[in-house]
Amino acid sequence: MSYLVYARKYRPRTFSQVVGQQHISRTLLNSIRSGRLAHALIFNGPRGVGKTSMARILAKSLNCLQPDDGEPCGQCDNCRSIDHGSFLDVMEIDAASNRGIDAIKSLIEEVHYAPSTGMVKVYIIDEFHMLTKEAFNAFLKTLEEPPEHTIFVLATTDLHKVNQTILSRCQRHDFRRIAPSEMTQALGDILRQEQVEFEPDALKLIAQNSEGCMRDAESILDRVVSYSGDHIISADVMELLGIAGNDLLISIFTALQQQDLSRILEALQQAGQRGTDMQPLTAQLMQMCRAIYLARIGVEQRDLDSMTRSALQELGSSFDVTQIDIMYSILRECFVEMKHSPFPQYDLEFALFKCTQLAPSVEVDRLLAAMEATPNQHQELPEDPGLPPQPSPATQKKTPEPASHQELTDISRLQQQLVKELAQEQPHVAALLHNSQLRRGDSDESYVLMVPPHQREFFTEEKQQTLQKNLSALVQKPSRLVLRSDATSTSLAAQESQLQEQRSEQLRQQLLQDEMYQDIVRRFQGSLHSFRLLKPGDVGDQA
């Protein structure tokens, strides 16, 4: 018998064999058992996740001569001929290649004949959204008065291109990308049947590089088995896929953190020698960036081995969230651009050099949390239970407030408000805005945003529109926002941190003057060791 690729050899043949789509298998089985299956079904989802397989299983289930509680037997004549694609009452049409109205017309003409050998005629129309408008309309008439004993399965990877009226006539099923854990499980099952040994990590790598598409995963597995023989190891998978190991990725981020350009070059060269392609490598760096971010905000990543996890912890604590965010943007842009580049490696080198230039910034989320906790902090000093009672009027006189440095300007407060409003929906825009300085323009409705030159390129047209729209809403009149690259202006983040320092110093002075404090110091013969402002959350943590 000729060689069958795994995707065909291990194609699921019953509802229970379909990987990762249990929610749909269950719904369909229940509908079949209760005799309440709709006449037209939409199977929506990415490619290679089992839509056509599910449709064929459904066709078998409806035509099987000895079904077992809704599951097709797989043995009877009908099941077998559907599996072989020779059953007359199951029609598969690829709309991507039969787009015209003629194809649909001939389908509609046939629709009204009773099934020839089976019980139910099943039309499986793949890439349904590709039909022309006329074909859609012709088809709609059939859907309005569906012939008996006929089921339509309309599979699509692009639901929003499907006509709304047709959508409303169909029962919709959304297929998911297959989760990595389910995928490794399924790949392992195949290898056990093939009697091929494997390292579990090798299958994880395949799953990570298939983007939830089972068909892709199986095709990679085919190639790996041809390459490695009866024992699959991770190194073979990496070599075959042209991808880098976690150790290399971590060494690149460590070099970024240490601003070690020569080590970055070395790592890329090493990757090139191992046959790693630059574009997948960039994608892997993006994934790693996300993993660092998750580590930074304390999300546990169980999929990773303990060594990688602890390396990520370390990297996470050495970058702040804004830096990680911007690094991700730089890498993403590089990934898109390098498709058209004659020198992908140079692109990646320059992108990584750019990443080394990112200075740590003040963390937006911490500042926002602080602002929310003390909404009037520009006007009033925060009340703090960790500090001694307010000084008496007598002591206050000794420390006049440096009033001129107490508050943000009106325009900065407006910017602060804007950052706060954007933080939830558009955290990236909020972070960029926070690292810039808003100024008034020449007229009432114009504003200028002073942006650090290295961040200028992240303000895409779309982001500028978002800013302008939100600004207009905030000041309640149509406003115009102009961007200007400027390395010298003080960003809102920097202003806030200066203010925080001033406040802290002022409170420290007040404390030193406080009679009760002086009394305590005298009694215990102590001195002020350190002083910092606490947020309400901090106090709770320590309690």
**CB of residue 51 vs Zn ion: minimum separation in angstroms?**
21
Instruction: Indicate the SS3 state at residue 167.
Output: helix
**CB of residue 84 vs Zn ion: minimum separation in angstroms?**
13
Q: Should residue 120 be labelled a site residue for Zn ion when binding is judged by CB under 5 A? A: no
Stretch that binds Zn ion, among 69-77, 103-111, 238-246, 286-294 (CB under 5 A): 69-77
* Reduced 3-state DSSP string for 397-451: HHCCCCHHHCCCCHHHHHHHHHHHHHHHHCHHHHHHHHCCEEEECCCCCEEEEEE
**CB of residue 123 vs Zn ion: minimum separation in angstroms?**
20
Q: Going edge to edge, which strands form the sheet with 171-174?
A: 90-94, 121-126, 150-156, 40-44, 171-174
Stretch that binds Zn ion, among 68-76, 228-236, 431-439, 466-474 (CB under 5 A): 68-76
Q: How many residues line the site for Zn ion (CB under 5 A)?
A: 5
Stretch that binds Zn ion, among 72-80, 322-330, 334-342, 433-441 (CB under 5 A): 72-80
Write each residue from 384 to 413 as x if it is in contact with Zn ion (CB under 5 A), else as -, in one continuous string. Answer: ------------------------------
**CB of residue 151 vs Zn ion: minimum separation in angstroms?**
17
- Pick between residue 76 and residue 261 the one whose CB is nearest to Zn ion: 76
> In the range 424-483, which residues lie near Zn ion by CB under 5 A?
none
* Distance from C-alpha of 173 to C-alpha of 196, rounded to nearest angstrom: 35
- The binder of Zn ion chosen from 73, 294, 408, 521 (CB under 5 A): 73
Q: Kindly report the backbone phi and psi dihedral angles of residue 252, in degrees, each rounded to the nearest multiple of 5, phi listed first.
A: -65, -45
- Pick between residue 63 and residue 157 the one whose CB is nearest to Zn ion: 63
Q: Which residues, in sequence order, are bridge partners of residue 451?
A: 485
Using an 8 Å Cβ cutoff, are 528 and 388 in contact?
no
> In the range 266-295, which residues lie near Zn ion by CB under 5 A?
none
**CB of residue 119 vs Zn ion: minimum separation in angstroms?**
11
Q: Should residue 512 be labelled a site residue for Zn ion when binding is judged by CB under 5 A? A: no
- How far CA 433 is from CA of 288, 405, 415, in Å, comes to 25, 23, 8
Structure tokens at 517: 């404090």
* Distance from C-alpha of 504 to C-alpha of 512, rounded to nearest angstrom: 12
Q: Which residues, in sequence order, are bridge partners of residue 209?
A: none
- The binder of Zn ion chosen from 27, 38, 47, 76 (CB under 5 A): 76
- The binder of Zn ion chosen from 79, 82, 151, 214 (CB under 5 A): 79
**CB of residue 64 vs Zn ion: minimum separation in angstroms?**
3
Stretch that binds Zn ion, among 66-74, 120-128, 253-261, 297-305 (CB under 5 A): 66-74
- Pick between residue 20 and residue 72 the one whose CB is nearest to Zn ion: 72
Q: What is the per-residue burial (b if ≥16 Cβ within 10 Å, else e) of 26-59?
A: eebbebbeeeebebbbbbbbeebbbbbbbbbbbb
**CB of residue 85 vs Zn ion: minimum separation in angstroms?**
15
- Pick between residue 65 and residue 373 the one whose CB is nearest to Zn ion: 65
Using an 8 Å Cβ cutoff, are 417 and 474 in contact?
yes
Which residue bears the tokens 């029962």? 171
**CB of residue 13 vs Zn ion: minimum separation in angstroms?**
10
* Distance from C-alpha of 174 to C-alpha of 153, rounded to nearest angstrom: 13
Instruction: Indicate the SS3 state at residue 128.
Output: helix
**CB of residue 40 vs Zn ion: minimum separation in angstroms?**
24
**CB of residue 117 vs Zn ion: minimum separation in angstroms?**
13
Q: What is the secondary structure of 220-286 as a DSSP string?
A: HHHHHHHHH-SEE-HHHHHHHHT---HHHHHHHHHHHHTT-HHHHHHHHHHHHHTT--HHHHHHHHH
DSSP state, residue 36: -
Q: Should residue 64 be labelled a site residue for Zn ion when binding is judged by CB under 5 A? A: yes
- Pick between residue 76 and residue 143 the one whose CB is nearest to Zn ion: 76
DSSP state, residue 287: H
The amino acid at residue 489 is S
- Pick between residue 64 and residue 255 the one whose CB is nearest to Zn ion: 64
* Distance from C-alpha of 65 to C-alpha of 120, rounded to nearest angstrom: 12
**CB of residue 122 vs Zn ion: minimum separation in angstroms?**
14
- Pick between residue 117 and residue 310 the one whose CB is nearest to Zn ion: 117
Using an 8 Å Cβ cutoff, are 87 and 55 in contact?
no
What crossing angle do the helices spanning 492-513 and 364-373 adopt, rounded to 10°?
50
- Pick between residue 90 and residue 243 the one whose CB is nearest to Zn ion: 90
**CB of residue 89 vs Zn ion: minimum separation in angstroms?**
14
Stretch that binds Zn ion, among 62-70, 261-269, 308-316, 397-405 (CB under 5 A): 62-70
- Pick between residue 45 and residue 118 the one whose CB is nearest to Zn ion: 118
Structure tokens at 355: 């990443």
> In the range 173-202, which residues lie near Zn ion by CB under 5 A?
none
- Pick between residue 82 and residue 433 the one whose CB is nearest to Zn ion: 82
Stretch that binds Zn ion, among 77-85, 121-129, 176-184, 322-330 (CB under 5 A): 77-85
Question: Which helix (H) or strand (E) segment is 203 a member of?
Answer: helix 200-208
Using CB under 5 A, list all residues that contact Zn ion: 64, 72-73, 76, 79
